[in-house]
Amino acid sequence: MRAPQPSQTRKPPMSTTTLEDTERRKAWGFVAPALLWTIAFFVVPFLFMAAMSLWSRQSGQIVRAWNLDNYIAFFAKDSLFKGLVNSLEITLIVTVLSVLLAYPLAWIIAERVPKRLQRLALIMAVLPFWTSYVVRSYSWLLVLSKNGVINQTLMTLGLVSEPLEIASNRTATVIGFVHFFVMLLTLTIYANLIQLSPNYRRAAADLGANAFQTFWHVILPLTLPGIMTGAFLTFVLCIGDYVTPQILGGNNELVLPQIIMLQLGRRADFPMAAALSIILMLAVTVAYALCARWLKIERA
């Protein structure tokens, strides 16, 4: 218990509490809930997981002894390391394919479709993705499986005698991913294309460039930010996805998220799952570092 002090001796001089101080205290009050939420449910769990990746699981118990065993095991065990290789391969193939397919579409929407129909064209491109994310991969099974739409069509037409193996493998995973990311990249590249001043193209033509030269020297470099933003998003979302490869990949070439889920499920090896997650994050960080110089570009 503290006795109340005489007010004259404890009260700070009036001048220390300025208008700015009151305002600042209020502002902290506004921003605090969001900051605390992020710290409590994102930063702390993440640090916790990072710490756990340095523990290990021995005979069913999590041992809190600090070591790098999980990381060493990752590089030593082919079954784990192959997951990262598969993830990177699939992600790179998907990113490149999606960019190549999306760029012409974005260009056609921006250049060939009349202005008033462009919004509709974009809405139509996004429309099929308003089904459930899980269902989207499933519906590719209907198309690609042995008795699916493609194989039955091809066999009815007599083009093939045996069903093609296009489901439950890497091809199916790539198709499922490209389907989504073509849409996403079309949006980012389109957004980049339409905000270019039409005068860039006019200036190039005026100075004697033909259509290809205008595209190669002017339009393509100026849309690089849109391409790289989309490509980076593709990379991040693709490499971290569990659902698409799990449904379409048929369990033969596991990717990193699938291996993480395996650690959680059958083996309950949380430390190993944590270590693999950290490795997944490092891969994304490296990708970011590689793209960073295009993710922000100077504009005149």
Partner 1 sequence: MRDTLTKFASFAYAGLIYGFIFLPVAVLVLFSFQDGRLPVPPFNGFSLQWYEAVFADRKLMAALANSFMVAIVSSVIACLLGFLAAYALARYKLPGSALQRGLLIAPMTVSYLIIALGLLTVLNTFGIKLSLWTVGIGHVVINLPLCFAIIYSSMGDHHINIERAARDLGASDFKVMTLVTAPMLLPSILAAFFLSVTFSWDEFIIAFLLSRFDVTLPVEIWSLLRSGLNPKTNAIGSLVFLVSVAVLAVLELTLFGRTKKS
Partner 2 sequence: MTAAVSVANATKTFGAFTALNDVSLDIRAGEFIVLLGPSGCGKTTLLSILGGFQSPTKGRVTIAGKDMTSVPPARRPTTTMFQDYALFPHMKLRDNVGFGLRMRGMAKAERDEKALGFLDLVGLKASADKKPHELSGGQRQRVALARALAVDPDVLLLDEPLGALDLKLRRQMQDELKAIQKRVGTTFVHVTHDQEEAMAIADRIVVMNQGRIEDFGPPADIYMRPRSVFSAGFMGEVNFIPGTVKAVEGASATVETAVGSMTLPVASFTAAAPVAGQAVTLCIRPEHFRRAGQADGPTVSLGEATITGSAFFGTHYRRHLKPTAAPDLSIVAHMPQSTAVADGQIVPLAVNLADIVALPAGR
Instruction: By CB under 8 A, name the binding residues for partner 2.
Output: 197, 199-200, 202-210, 213, 217-218, 221-222, 224, 297-300
281 touches 113 (CB < 8 A): no
Nearest 5°: phi and psi at 128?
Answer: -60, -15
Is 115 in contact with 251 (CB distance < 8 Å)? no
Any bridge partners for residue 56, and if so which?
A: 63
Q: Given the complex with partner 1, which of 204 and 273 has the nearer CB atom?
A: 273
Q: Which is nearer to partner 2, 45 or 221 (CB)?
A: 221
DSSP state of 13: P
Shorter beta-carbon distance to partner 1: residue 4 or 130: 130
Contacting residues for 260 by C-beta, under 8 A, at least 6 apart: 242, 273, 276, 277, 280
What does the CA dihedral 218, 220, 221, 225 come to, rounded to 10 degrees?
Answer: 140
C-alpha span between 278 and 264 (Å, rounded): 15
How many angstroms from the chain centroid is the CA of residue 28? 32
* From the list partner 2, partner 1, none, partner contacted by residue 200 (C-beta under 5 to 8 A by kind): partner 2
Owner of token pair 């994050």? 281
Q: Could you tell me which of 230, 253, 240 has the C-alpha nearest to residue 282?
A: 240
Minimum gap (Å) between residue 68 Cβ and partner 1: 18
Q: Measured from the CB of residue 25, what is the shortest distance to partner 1 in angstroms?
A: 10
CB of 190 to partner 2, least distance (A): 19
Nearer to partner 2, 14 or 300 (CB): 300
Rounded to whole angstroms, the Cα distance separating 139 from 153 reads 16
- Kindly state the smallest distance separating residue 40's Cβ from partner 1, in Å: 9
The rounded distance, in Å, linking the Cα atoms of 213 and 196 is 17
Tell me which of partner 2, partner 1, none is bound by residue 75, counting a contact when its beta carbon lies within the kind-specific cut-off of 5 to 8 angstroms: none
Nearer to partner 2, 62 or 209 (CB): 209
Binding partner of 281, given partner 1, partner 2, none, CB within 5-8 angstroms per partner class: partner 1
Complex with partner 1: residue 58 or 152, whichever CB lies closer = 152
Give the one entry of partner 1, partner 2, none that residue 183 binds, where binding means its C-beta sits below a cut-off of 5 to 8 angstroms depending on kind.
partner 1
What's the min distance (Å) between Cβ of 137 and partner 2? Answer: 39
Q: What is the separation, in whole angstroms, between the first and last Cα of the chain? A: 66
Shortest approach of partner 1 to residue 251 CB, angstroms?
13
